[in-house]
Structure 1
Amino acid sequence: MKKWLLTVAVISTLTACSASNESKQQAGDTYQKSNVDLPRLNPLASGGVKLPTASTEYQLPQIKVNKDDKVDIRPPSIPLAIIHDSITRFDGERALIAYTSDQQKIYNLKQIERLLKEQNIQYTRENGKLLTDWAATGRSDDLKNTQIRYQIEEVDTEQAAALMVSVLQMKRNETIYTPSITDKQRYASDRLNQLIGELNAAYQKQQQDLSASTTAPIASHIATDTNGRTALILSAPFDAAWEKLGETLPKLGFEIKKDMSARGIRELYYKPLSQKAWQQISSQALPNLGKGSYQMQLAALNKQQSAVVISEEKKSALANEQAQIIYQSLQRLLNQ
């Protein structure tokens, strides 16, 4: 019976301790609960003897301490340089991460919008900035019903780009209050780290998937597109086809001069291979293509197929005979 009562008492104590996050934010000492005032020194009974005047040099000041203030003991969060070639800082209002401009296609405001939609966080766009509605902090050690409105913005130059997050407002139990500098640093940094972390994780997974898919052969067949041009239909999604073509086209003599993956376009420069090098690729005659600029256009047909068209600089389609030779040679290389 005693053991049973002891067990109940222990469980009750643990439940009471873990029921609120307040214990995670406050020190475990008695400083804030103490009501003992600073000691006062009373005049001594001199018994008629004149004593020297007391010096105020070492007199203890009488300070009134507000015992009700709750000090948050959690260490402040900081922006983390999660991605390669990046720097971070908190400037007193905003948590920011700056990175090289070539990484802007991965980390940008459009991708942030996608994440906010996935997290069911409503927002509006004003002057190139995202202003969110009230959203949970996402921290497990926060008091209940704590919500924040964030501002997210992007800046860029020729050499670098940056994403910045700041805290606009905070509220708890529907009462809006002014966040302290520590709060701004903690919550702006947390949100920035969470957004950049998710984008980085998605990018790393995509790279791993592409690395695996580009080594696999891609089946294809020659067809005519909706504009009447000869095209090569690939049995691969856009991303996998884009990477595989980037590896394969130089083997046919097409040097890639510029990538515009968002539009599915590559600017090419063609220099005919030697007769010996061409014979290692194809049994057909060397294509009668002039040395110069060409363009590759890749389009997604559905989730499993894409189509590629190679055209001359003026976007006119290759002559059918030359297109057949190029696409058949491309077929062999893609299928390896």
Structure 2
Amino acid sequence: MATLLQKSKVTKLAGLSVVLLLAACSGDQHYKRQVSGDTSYLDAPQLQALNVPQGMILPLQSGQYDIPQVKQDGATGLALDIRPPVQTVSLLAGSRTETAGDASRLLLENSAENRTLWAQINRVLADRSVPVSQRDEAGGVIVTDWIVWQRADEDLPLQSRQRIKIEPAGSQVAVVVTSEGLKQGENPVTDKTEITRYNNLTLNELVDGLDRMRNAARQETNASQYATPDVQSGSDKTGLPQIIVRAPFDVVWSRLPVVLESVGMKVGDRTRSTGNIEVTYKGLSSAEWSSLGMDDPSVAEGDYTLQVGDLDNRSSLQFISAKGKPLTQKENDEMVKALEAAFSKSSVK
């Protein structure tokens, strides 16, 4: 009985320790934006003029290296916010961003796609559940209601109201974000650095939303346009055989895993930046090859590196064996036929 009581006490103490630890972790978040280490340097005495004893003659002096007295108005020590400023991002083609004064701006080309910014931005706000208190389509102005920003470096989330304006900027179109109010709890925040931070965060949300929306539309168009791309035999600059797919790199890269699996290739590591895909070729049964409309190919089973090249509106494919050798012309032509059938079979409807 004594042993059970002792175990019960240990269990309760352990549970209490966990609760206290979690409570400590979920409390004050100031440490995430404060300098770490000793701040005793703030207590260093002020510089004083050298007290020269009467009758002593000092060497010639130069004021070149004198440390000037300065008036310190900014925050110091633990009161100093060391978080880096939020940088605006330029994800959209032909765009640039800038932060000046009390505004954050996105500058875009005056293209047909950008002439429908009003509808696009409203859709982004709706998709991200951003409350809107005012819309003026004629003036190109949207004013949001209070947006709650959940951030791990704040004890209490900040809330902001933002003014979003679409306006001409010379030969470009500008999306301008300014602040209509910033508060933490019920306390207004007037610090210019914080206001700029949340202006930039809002602009970045808009840019990210527009980028995702346009990429999705582009992929949908490509999926329809290149549902069954033409596959041909070709050669590289050195005359070695390769496969040419008449579709952009993005389309081919996204569809290759399914296409390769359907011709008996297990896909391993993929590196988009270099266009390399590691595959292991096991082949198919004669019946499966027959269903693709071809006889069994002569390509040897084993490990290959598939190099995918970007040729603007076309893509190149070249299989390199583990020994560093490309396919022969015959093997390459067989893979052309196999991949052409696989692309057609896996076409996006």
The TM-score with structure 1 as length reference comes to 0.50
- TM (norm. structure 2) is 0.48
